[in-house]
Structure 1
Amino acid sequence: MRGANFFHAADRALRFLGLLERRCAACREPFEPPSAPDWPVPEVEDVLAQLFCPDCRKRLRPRTTGFCPYCGEPSLLEDAPCMPCDHCLRTLPPWQEFLFFGVYDDLLRDLVLRAKFGGSLAVLDALGRVFAAVCANHYAVTSRPDVIVPMPLDRARLCSRGFNQCREMVRRASAALGVPVRVDLLVKTISLTPQSLLNREQRSLMKQPFEASDKVKGLHVLLVDDICTTGATMERAAERLLEAGARRVDAAVLARASRHARSVAGPALP
């Protein structure tokens, strides 16, 4: 009885001090999350419910319909059937499967920019948890990749930013899938104009900035980036991996930009 009273008093004290308080990863307001699911592969919505308050969660909806199944290009209507976009009807991308969480807009855009340019490790960890759930659910019903390869940064960009946000984001996906992260299989050797400042045509004309190691030969690779705008950069990276002997390449991003959006360029921190 005394033990129960002690733990009850300790719980009240910790809550009074705010040490057990759960705060939303987006707005930092306190909230009461539901009980954590106990199955090994939680649904994306369950992960969102653990990390974000109800108001923010309404602004972070996974896109389940209304996109191109080959490259993820969102349709103008969210509830439209999944149909190939004009670009993929002409030329299929080099990867076999494409998976993503949501459209690069509203709160998801703010969080990505906060993690990428604001250096918020807490937000980056939350996005990593969401991304891990996307990957775990997808590969629960299909063959898992052999390795995860985050999109590399050139040396100048890495030095100025201080970290590769993709490499940090995939840590939890690696643990969820039991798949190692390999940063030695793909490197970026050329510093180019930031991709957010280029349109699809300009990206298609850019030099091949990537080099792949022959160690990728025979491997099923999951190529990961945080944002996909036109897909041209990921296509170049996937092509290099396949040229080096990769057996298969899948592409996965957290956020997929829409050509119907007014703008996806110009980082502006919230």
Structure 2
Amino acid sequence: MSPPPWQGLALHGQYRGALRQLILHFKHGGRPALAFLLAGMLLDAAACLPLPDAVLSIPQHRDRLRQRGYNQAHELAVALGLLLSLPVRPGLLRRPAATPHQIGLTAAQRQRNAAGSFRAADVRGLHLWLVDDIITTGSTLRAASTELLRAGAARVDVLALARTPRP
């Protein structure tokens, strides 16, 4: 696979053990209040990155948002923005069409599923931090970063709480 389109990457840890349980409670357990605790972990991981012009998250399609009630990545981005006094700009990236869940898909299927699924606003010259909760294959972040760069972003850095362990 080709190099990722983002310039910097900050991760807190591997998706296992206590971190996995915490993320699962946050993401599927209806616990959006955990965002500030988790954003503190992201803040520590992001110390290696230059501060951006704005923070945004991987958007959810409105149907998925209705099902869960909140976008966990957006909650993380908002908490991170508040901790650093940075603007959070969710309107810069949107997901106009619903895509199937990524759970259980192979890396190739995930890449096809995510490709072309995002639309970016005019982000010319902006340095952006793109926030998500978990990186599995990187397909979603790759597609979103590619779209932001296509729309003129000067730099995109990716921040995630965890990466799934590789076999």
TM-score tier (shorter): over 0.9
The letter of the residue matching 2:166 is R
Q: Do the aligned partners of 2:94 and 2:118 also contact (CA within 8 Å) in 1?
A: yes
Q: Do the aligned partners of 1:189 and 1:211 also contact (CA within 8 Å) in 2?
A: yes
Partner of 2:48: 138
Partner of 2:12: 101
Other structure's SS at 2:38 match:
helix
TM-score by length of 2: 0.93
| Larger-Rg structure | 1
TM-score by length of 1: 0.59
Corresponding position: 1:247 with 2:133? no
Q: Do the aligned partners of 2:93 and 2:118 also contact (CA within 8 Å) in 1?
A: yes
Partner of 1:76: none
Deviation, structure 1 residue 93:
0.5
Q: Per-residue CA shift, 1:182-222, capped at 9, x if unaligned?
A: 000000112111112211111222341100001x1110011
What 5-or-longer segments of structure 1 have no aligned partner? 1-86, 261-270
Corresponding position: 1:177 with 2:84? yes
Other structure's SS at 1:195 match:
coil
Specify which structure has the higher proportion of helix: 2
Identical pairs, percent: 39
CA-based RMSD of the aligned residues comes to 1.4
What 5-or-longer segments of structure 2 have no aligned partner? none
The count of aligned residue pairs is 166
Q: Do the aligned partners of 2:116 and 2:143 also contact (CA within 8 Å) in 1?
A: yes
**Which of 73, 94, 118 is 1:210 aligned to?**
118
Corresponding position: 1:187 with 2:94? yes
**Which of 49, 70, 80 is 1:163 aligned to?**
70
Specify which structure has the higher proportion of strand: 2
How is 1:13-32 mapped onto 2 (pairs within 5 angstroms)?
A: none
Name the CA distance, whole Å, in 1 between partners of 2:140 and 2:86: 24
Deviation, structure 1 residue 132:
2.4
How is 1:68-79 mapped onto 2 (pairs within 5 angstroms)?
A: none
Name the CA distance, whole Å, in 1 between partners of 2:164 and 2:72: 18
Deviation, structure 1 residue 125:
2.9
Q: Do the aligned partners of 1:203 and 1:232 also contact (CA within 8 Å) in 2?
A: yes
* Structure of higher RCO (CA pairs closer than 8 Å, 6+ residues apart): 2
Q: Do the aligned partners of 2:97 and 2:117 also contact (CA within 8 Å) in 1?
A: yes
The letter of the residue matching 1:219 is L
Other structure's SS at 1:100 match:
strand
Name the CA distance, whole Å, in 2 between partners of 1:203 and 1:166: 18
Name the CA distance, whole Å, in 2 between partners of 1:155 and 1:116: 16
